[in-house]
Structure formats: C-alpha cells, structure tokens
Structure 1
Amino acid sequence: MATDPLQKTPPQAPENVTPDAPPADLVRFDQVVKRFGDHVVLDRLDFALQRGEHVTLIGPSGSGKTTILRLLMTLERVSDGVIHVDGEPLSHMPGPDGTLRVANERHLRRIRRKIGMVFQQFNLFPNMKVLQNITEAPVNVLGLGREEAEERARELLDLVGLADKIDAHPAQLSGGQQQRVAIARALAMRPEILLLDEVTSALDPELVAGVLDLLREIAHTTDITLLCVTHEMNFARDISDQVLMFDSGQVIESGPPEKLFGDPDHERTREFLGAVL
C-alpha cells in the first residue's frame, strides 16, 4: 500500500494502543503524530470528541488544526498513533493476530462514510449543475436511488436558502452561494461528524455573516457532531461546547467557550486571543 510520499518512514501502530476506543468517544486521537519529513506537525496528540458535541479548534496558522481534519478525512496518513471513529480505528485495522496494522483503502472508505467535510475552497464540480453536485456522491457512494437523492437534495437546498438555484452551474453563483451548496453536499451524505475547515476564509466579508448564520442554525437544530477550525471567534463562542487552543501541534488548553474566552489559564492563549479579538 502506498504511504505518504513526504514521510521518510511509513506510519506505525503503537504497541500500547488497544484496537477499540471507549464507546462514548465518537472520535479519539490517541498519541497521534504527523510528520512531514523532519517537521512534526502534530506531536502525540490526545483528544476526544463526544457524540453530538460541537468542538472548535483555534490557534495560530501552522499550529496543526487543519491537519487534524485532513487526517480524519484520510487525506493524510498518521505517522504514529491511532485515530478512532465510533469505537473503531480509522488509521489502522486489526490484523489476523489481533494487533493493529495500517488500514487498507477498503477499511478507510467504510469508516470515512461517517465523516463529511466542508473545505475553505468550495470544490464544486464546475461542469455539473447544483442538483447533480449534491446528488452525485449519495448515488455513487451510498448507493441511493436517483429519486431519493434528488428529493434529499431539494430539502437541503431549501435549508440553505438556495431552492431557486437547483439548475444553476457553480460559475453562476456567488462565493457565499457556492459555499452553501458545499454545505448541502456534505450534509447529503448523512455524516455523523461534520468537519468545517475555515469555511468563510475564501469569502468576501459581506458574505461571511450569511454562511455563519446557516452553520449556527445547523448547530442549534440538528444532532450532528461538529469539529470546526475557524478564526471567527464570535462564531466559535456561539456554537461550541468545547474550544481547544492549539500551538505547535499540541492542545495547550481546552474548556467551554465562556471559560476559554473569558478567563484562559495559559499565557499563550491570552496572547492569541488578545491579537484576534
């Protein structure tokens, strides 16, 4: 199996990690390391995400936040440690003798179906109309019938306020509208976990509020689990159950938003919030 071409050594399964995570944890990072060459991006990361919880990752650029999301989407491979999703290892799979080995593509695809992601860039298919952008994956990945997938797509377009754009191509939409379509496309896969990676960073300032309001509505009206990377601190304060402060590939502080934003314990957290608030 191919490994990350930027890694000098293939990912390893640690000796003292059990194959199954505790059932209460929907996501668990267990001593996860990510290296690019000699550069350590994540340094023995431990944290857990509970079912239905909304967790936001904050911190300076380059601290490893987006890498966490990319590992969960299997766009990157761990260098060491294990990621668990819904009680099963994502990055690894049990071998015949019960020990963990690096996961194959079939295993990754199966676990990845529980996870959806909305990227900084909208990544819509430019040659497809809005309806097909939303239905393509449910039909071809989940095996839904075309009629069921289109019915779900119409419901989601109504949710994101774009029911009248069903036959538009992405080039005919504003940036904010394209990001709304991207959110609808992610929700169409019925993920248990939705990853949000700086979803407003590519938008013009006047479009940011509308997208954030939509995400607030999703956070407050659904039971979907959210893991969010953002520099929008007011948004993080509004939707989060827990906020994690990252620096140099490690969680240096975590807590509910009222504590972390109102009375942080760590000097680095105070410095960062002083610069961005």
Structure 2
Amino acid sequence: MSQAATEAALTSGKDGQFIHFDKVSKRFGDNVVLDDLSFAVGAGERVTLIGPSGSGKTTILRMLMTLMKPDTGTVRVGDDYLFHEERNGSLVDASEAHIRKVRQRITMVFQSFNLFPNMRVLRNVTEAPVHVLGLSKEEAEERALGLLAMVGLDHKIDSYPSQLSGGQQQRVAIARALAMRPDVLLLDEVTSALDPELAAGVLDVLRDVAKTTDVTMLCVTHAMKFARDISHRVLMFCEGKIIEAAPPEQMFDSPDHERTRSFLQSVLDEA
C-alpha cells in the first residue's frame, strides 16, 4: 500500500470524522506509548485495533474513557473536544463538567467484566442510566430487560455476578454498556479471560450488536475471525504508530507491511 493510500485509510470513515485523534502523544518516562498519532473513525463505523502488546491499542480506548490524558495533541468526539474546550477562539483545558458531558457518549466493555458484585444483574444494568442519564427506575428497567433478553440473560435478572459464568458476566457487561445508549462502544479484549466456548458465545452477541445497531465501535482483540466479521477497517499498531490500515479482507488476506504479516502469523499460530 502506498503512503497516500495508507493516509486515506487512516482518515476514511463511514460518515465523516466522528472520532478524531490529532497528533496525539503519550509517554511514560522514556516509554513512548503513542507517537504523534492521527486517525479518524466515522459515525457508525466499526474499527478493530490489532498489534503486539504495548503498541498503544488499549491506550486509545483508555483515553476515550478519559482514564488517561494525552501529553500532546487533541481528541475530538463529534463536535466536542474531549480534553479541551474552545473559549474566545482558543483551546484551553476542559472543565470536569465538559469532560463528563462528552464522556456520557462513550461506554466500554472491559476484559474483567467490572460488574458491581453487591448488585443483582438487573440493577447492574439500570444503575448508570438512573444516576447518570436521569432515567426513572421504570424506564431504566424496561430498557435493561430488553437488552438482557437480547444477550440471552433475561432469566438471570435476580442473580448476583458471583452466580454467573464468566461468559454470562461479560454478556451482562455488554448489556450494561448498551443501556447508556452510547454513540461509541469500546471493546477491550472482551474474551481474553474466557475459555473458547464461552468466548464464542460473547462474540456472537457482539456480532448481533454490530448487525443491529449503528453504534460506533472501537475494538481491541486477538480474535481475528471476529475482527474480520465485524470490522469496516482494521488498524495495525506498532510502537505507538499505525503502520497499516485497510479493510479486513485486505488486512488479513494480503497485508502490505512485513510487521503486519509476522504479527498475524504469530496470532494464527497461537489460535
């Protein structure tokens, strides 16, 4: 792929530039995690981030969740900057109120489920819509019941997380994320803690989400078949940079970069 084609693949989106990283850098001491990174994701687009551990993929998700701030550069979601505000024609550090407002548009499903252990399944899903979005208990429960039915767990609404399998807990986590009606859904190695059979069930649920919603998705995964199935684009990360960006058929069948080829071969050998 030519440099021009790679740059086009980095900025192409299903509907404009909904998420936009512009010259973002992040370092921890001498370790450069993101290196002057620029890319965009369109509204409703599903993008998978692949690459070796430590290449910057999860840092992207953590920034969008405002769990980590960039050292330099800007992150924009829709018309709003995430860590900055425009005042009198200049960009200044954002207030906590501004950050909370933008962050409400984004939810994340983590590797480790992160359910509230003292709450039953139904309340795990309704808690944030009630306390963050201001829904009534009745509205939140109606929404939650529909989502729990979608992930096949409407019969478990009175169970505690400890009474569920890992796969069931992750499906509750997906329902909880979707209950916020997010514009952006982030998926961070959501099956890495599950055995293959449970992982397959969770990935099937996410395939259904991809098919039946227009939520923008950023996914970090080593499940390459899943990435091929759900992605509009795949971005290959290495040492804090995107070294290749392409539709899944091209990325997985005929990657251009030698580093991409060696990474995909190693992942397939482990599968």
**Which structure 1 residue ranges, 4+ long, deviate > 2 Å from structure 2?**
none
**Distance in structure 1 (CA, Å) of the matches to 2:264 and 2:149:** 36
**Distance in structure 2 (CA, Å) of the matches to 1:106 and 1:36:** 27
Aligned to 2:5: none
Aligned to 2:172: 181
| Cα deviation 1:28-85 (Å, max 9, x = unaligned) | 0000011122321000111100011110000001101000000000000111000000
Give runs of aligned pairs for residues 1-277 of structure 1, distance below 5 A: 24-95=16-87, 97-277=88-268
Shift of 1:105: 1.1
| Cα deviation 1:172-206 (Å, max 9, x = unaligned) | 00000000000000000000110000000011222
1:266 maps to amino acid: H
**Distance in structure 1 (CA, Å) of the matches to 2:202 and 2:132:** 27
TM-score, L = length of structure 2: 0.92
1:94 maps to amino acid: E
Identify unmatched segments of 5+ residues in structure 1.
Answer: 1-22
The root-mean-square deviation of aligned C-alpha atoms, in Å, is 0.9
Q: Name the structure with the higher helix share.
A: 2
**Per the alignment, in what secondary structure is the counterpart of residue 18 of structure 2?**
strand
Identify unmatched segments of 5+ residues in structure 2.
Answer: 1-14
Shift of 1:99: 1.0
Shift of 1:94: 1.3
TM-score, L = length of structure 1: 0.90
Identity %: 66
